[in-house]
Amino acid sequence: MGPRPGCPYPSCSPSSFGSSFSLVASVGCLSSSSLSPSPSEPVSSELSSRATTLSMETSSSFQQLGMQQRPEPPRQQLPGYGKCSTTGGDPGKDPGKAAGCSGGSGIGKGPVPMVCSTPCGNPYAGLVSHLRASWNSGKTRPMEYRVAQLEALGRFLDDKKQEILEATELDMGKPSFEAFFSEILLCKNELNVTLNNLSHWMKDEYVDKNLVMQLDSAFIRKDPYGVVLIIAPWNYPIHLFLVPLIGAIAAGNCAIIKPSEISKNTERLVAETLSCYLDSDCFAVVTGGVPETTRLLENKFDYIFFTGSPPVGRVVMTAAAKHLTPVTLELGGKNPCYVSDTCDVTNVARRVAWGRFFNAGQTCIAPDYLLCTIEMQEKLLPALRKAIDDFYGPNPRESPDFGRIVSDKQFQRLRALLGSGRVAIGGQTDEAERYIAPTVLVDVQPLDPIMQEEIFGPILPIMIITNMDEAIDFINSRERPLAVYAFSSDDKVVNQVLERTSSGGFCGNDTLMHVTLPSLPFGGIGNSGLGTHHGKFSFDTFSHHRGCLKRGMGWECLNAPRYPPYSQQKFGVIRAMSKVRCKNDCTLL
């Protein structure tokens, strides 16, 4: 998509990023054709059958089958931090090696061998094996190493800020303000919180002990899992791979990053430049669509972090189950927003409109639909119309602050949803620009198509209810969402919605803002996801909490009561000695 009216980068084009090569780890075993599996290669029937149901974020990693192999970018030195080279070999000519890059941390210079140990079974087996060998060497465990890699990510954000803004503008018309806020600023906040607290998070956590073990050491060790896979979507293509990666690095893991092929300009930017900042022995980028992701998931990972839709989340979880690999699934759903009759209508309209139309509505935690009485709807409509006009002007199509839909497929899907209910505000579309105006629908029914799937676009339906109880019943009758929103001047009403519903997160009297706090866990529940991340929660997600006990070789008399032959007297001693000494005076027996 070319620059739209008001684009702050009218001259930007895909070529503006340069064409340097870095460790894009589509490495093969026997021939260059295996670098990216061709459309004729076998793809798991389960993934193939489910791929047709993809929508919204999830097509980031599972585009429909039949994609052509992407031509390899020319190799040349990348300006900026770190120095890229192809001294490790040309993957097109020598599939046993991939280009090396001296990371921005000064660690991991030189070629990276990717030789498969067996005749070509999986094109990514060599890469995974190499990263596992690096992890087994212990190099990612020292805090100094982790800090160096995290600081290198900060330099990546600083050095590539303009390229990130341009790439997201090209991919989906993302306004520069929104791109800077969501893709750069929030990521830097995560980095700062992690760097400021990493030494504390890494410390062993000592626990309460019983009488027998008072002289022993009992603690929780935060161990890295090993080699992790991060699959990111297209809607926030930097943020949604970088924030999990921060947690993975902080916890001491090696990682393979799979960015979205839908946001192709951002994918190329990440693939060509990230390894010039990170240690290429421990971190790699894999590009491609369904065939590549399918083959990638055949490998044994120690942890998988996936962001996408519930249908594809199930596919990822099925693949992980074959190796008993733990997963975090950041999915989505229809996030309800209840508006009570007692509230500041102007403020509600502005906060709802901002949350719904930010990034042209392509946000997993955006309010998906409103629940209010007919009386409140009559007040909200003019307030929403004014908020949209204040934000984007009388013609949002000309506003530099309103984005576009990421693909033709998504545009067609969203345009079809406009047939639900009646358009009260907006409704204009332009297929050539993939533009859909900020739109509000009324007279929407629960069985309408727009209420059957996550919208993931700039369309806001209003559902009429008679009171708060009916709104809560409606919310609870559906799959548990990623977020629930409630607006009311009465804090008791907000608390009622909070206490009587279940969702990944909750925000009262605002939208989206809870996700900006690294101190809060972010994640879904039920159909909207599994697991959490952000801040320390990211560190914990990528850490195995290992229970440890270290005892001395002396004081054997204390162990005598546990040895056979058993007796009632020994049982009494064991019971007394097993009492855990803690403030709550709890007992184990």
CATH of the domain at 238: 3.40.605.10
Q: Are residues 385 and 445 in the same domain?
A: yes
Q: Are residues 455 and 488 in the same domain?
A: yes
Q: Are residues 397 and 277 in the same domain?
A: no
Given this model, what pLDDT does residue 472 score?
Answer: 99
Given this model, what pLDDT does residue 576 score?
Answer: 87
Q: Are residues 322 and 344 in the same domain?
A: no
Q: Are residues 351 and 496 in the same domain?
A: yes
The per-residue pLDDT for range 517-528, each reduced to its tens digit, is 999 999 999 999
Helix (H, G, I), strand (E, B) or coil at 554: coil
Indicate the number of domains in the chain: 2
Residue 238 structural domain? 14-330
Q: Are residues 275 and 164 in the same domain?
A: yes
Dihedral angle sign, alpha carbons of residues 529, 124, 74, 158? positive
How many CA atoms lie within 13 Å of 481's alpha carbon, on the beta-carbon side?
28
Q: Are residues 349 and 260 in the same domain?
A: no
Residue 584 lies in a domain: no
Query: How many angstroms separate the CA atoms of 351 and 411, rounded?
Result: 25
Residue 6 lies in a domain: no
Residue 587 lies in a domain: no
The per-residue pLDDT for range 157-209, each reduced to its tens digit, is 999 999 999 999 999 999 999 999 999 999 999 999 999 999 999 999 999 99
Q: Are residues 256 and 393 in the same domain?
A: no
Return the biggest CA–CA distance within the chain: 88
Q: Are residues 342 and 322 in the same domain?
A: no
Q: CATH number of the domain that 492 lies in?
A: 3.40.309.10
Phi/psi of residue 59, nearest 5 degrees: -65, -5
- Among 497, 521, 545, where does a domain finish? 521
Residues of the chain with pLDDT under 50: 1-119, 587-589
Given this model, what pLDDT does residue 585 score?
Answer: 53
Q: Are residues 387 and 321 in the same domain?
A: no
Dihedral angle sign, alpha carbons of residues 252, 256, 262, 268? positive
Those residues whose C-beta lies under 8 Å from the C-beta of residue 397, and which sit 6 or more positions away, are 5, 428, 430, 433, 435, 437
Residue 570 lies in a domain: no
Given this model, what pLDDT does residue 579 score?
Answer: 80
Those residues whose C-beta lies under 8 Å from the C-beta of residue 355, and which sit 6 or more positions away, are 363, 366, 367, 485, 510, 511, 512
Which of 156, 192, 187 is CA-nearest to residue 285? 156
Given this model, what pLDDT does residue 290 score?
Answer: 86
- Among 469, 489, 521, where does a domain finish? 521
Amino acid (one-letter) located at 565: P
Strand 429-430 and strand 435-436: the pairing is: antiparallel
Residue 82 lies in a domain: yes
Residue 547 lies in a domain: no
Amino acid (one-letter) located at 70: R
Residue 554 lies in a domain: no
Residue 7 lies in a domain: no
Strand order in the sheet with 529-530: 283-285, 254-258, 227-231, 303-307, 327-330, 529-530
- Among 330, 346, 368, where does a domain finish? 330
> Alpha helices, DSSP H only, in 298-393?
310-321, 345-357, 374-392
DSSP state at residue 69: P
Given this model, what pLDDT does residue 581 score?
Answer: 65
This prediction's pTM: 0.81
Burial classification of residue 16, based on how many CB atoms lie within 10 Å of its CB (0-12 exposed, 13-18 middle, 19 or more buried): middle
List, by residue number, the catalytic residues.
330
Given this model, what pLDDT does residue 28 score?
Answer: 33
Q: Are residues 206 and 263 in the same domain?
A: yes
Q: Are residues 295 and 348 in the same domain?
A: no
Helix (H, G, I), strand (E, B) or coil at 462: strand
